[in-house]
Amino acid sequence: MRPRHLLIGNWKMNLGPKEARPFARELKAKACATSRTDVWVTPPTASLEAVASELSGTPIAVGAQNVHWANAGAFTGETSPLFLADLGVKFSLVGHSERRTLFGETSEQVAQRTKNALSAGLTAVVCIGETEAERTSQQTEAVLLEQLTPVLDVVDANSAVRVIVAYEPVWAIGTGKVASLQEIQDAHRFIISTWNSRKLSRPAVVLYGGSVNPGNFSEILRLPEVDGALVGGASIKIDQWLSLISIAEETPVGQ
């Protein structure tokens, strides 16, 4: 359980530098004075510099959507965690389902990306989740374990404080189908007990992601196993994003 809610906006391949800068300026004006919510955003790579410079000196953390397992070399199209750190980037998503399904990233590669992000001092937000077919065939826990185990194998007592898990059922991402409260609670409990079996230095931090919007967020965030949310579509519409932040601000932590 985290002492504050955590809301992360995944902008995906939206908001290029020209749109990202005014968006970040509006966030700076309206979302900095939160009392119980940390607000983080992940612009696309091309907008990182603009957003990081706009939000520099504010409590809003800027993250990348992916990070490479090497620090430099012949890896066309990839981004070193050292370069991200130079830009003022504080964290990176790893293993988002779009990376796994559209770009073929394996759980082993996700673990290597996580390991190198942690070595560079970044926080890693590790995304895991089952497809609809895997849920229907009762494979949810097996899939979560297969995706989480290689990551936990590269986390140690020092780096555990910089690992966050995002449970994102693939069938709920960008579809408008949100998981039921029971499904979220069961998956989060499973992730927490898997994390606890490793005797790491701090408790698991687990976010929910998948079609979160201002209409469903409050009841999700009230689940005691939910530390916050990873949000796609609703994070690039400023009104919805500000509403989600207000809902988090109204929700006591640990409810």
CB of 61 to ligand PEP, least distance (A): 16
Pick between residue 44 and residue 233 the one whose CB is nearest to ligand PEP. Answer: 233
Burial profile 120-153: b = 16 or more Cβ within 10 angstroms, e = fewer = bebbbbbbbbbbeebbeeeebeebbeebbebbbe
CB of 238 to ligand PEP, least distance (A): 15
Q: Do residues 90 and 69 lie in contact, with contact meaning Cβ atoms separated by under 8 Å?
A: no
Pick between residue 174 and residue 254 the one whose CB is nearest to ligand PEP. Answer: 174
Do the bridges between strand 163-167 and strand 37-42 make them parallel or antiparallel, or are there none, so unpaired? Answer: unpaired
Q: Is 168 one of the catalytic residues?
A: yes
In the set 54, 98, 130, 168, the catalytic residue is 168
Partnered with residue 38 across adjacent β-strands are: 6
Pick between residue 39 and residue 231 the one whose CB is nearest to ligand PEP. Answer: 231
Q: Is 96 one of the catalytic residues?
A: yes
Residues that bind ligand PEP (CB under 6 A): 10, 12, 168, 173-174, 209-212, 230-234
Residue 230: CA count within 13 A, CB half-sphere: 32
CB of 231 to ligand PEP, least distance (A): 5
Burial profile 228-242: b = 16 or more Cβ within 10 angstroms, e = fewer = bbbbbbbbbeeebbb
Which residue do the tokens 């907008």 mark? 47
CB of 78 to ligand PEP, least distance (A): 20
Which residue do the tokens 């979160």 mark? 212
In the set 5, 96, 134, 225, the catalytic residue is 96
Q: How far apart are CA 218 and CA 223, in angstroms?
A: 9
Structure tokens at 245: 């932040």
Pick between residue 80 and residue 114 the one whose CB is nearest to ligand PEP. Answer: 114
CB of 31 to ligand PEP, least distance (A): 18
List C-alpha distances in Å: 153 to 67, 82, 103, 117, 150.
18, 22, 23, 15, 5
The residue whose Cβ lies closest to ligand PEP is: 232
Pick between residue 112 and residue 235 the one whose CB is nearest to ligand PEP. Answer: 235
**Residues with active-site annotation:** 96, 168
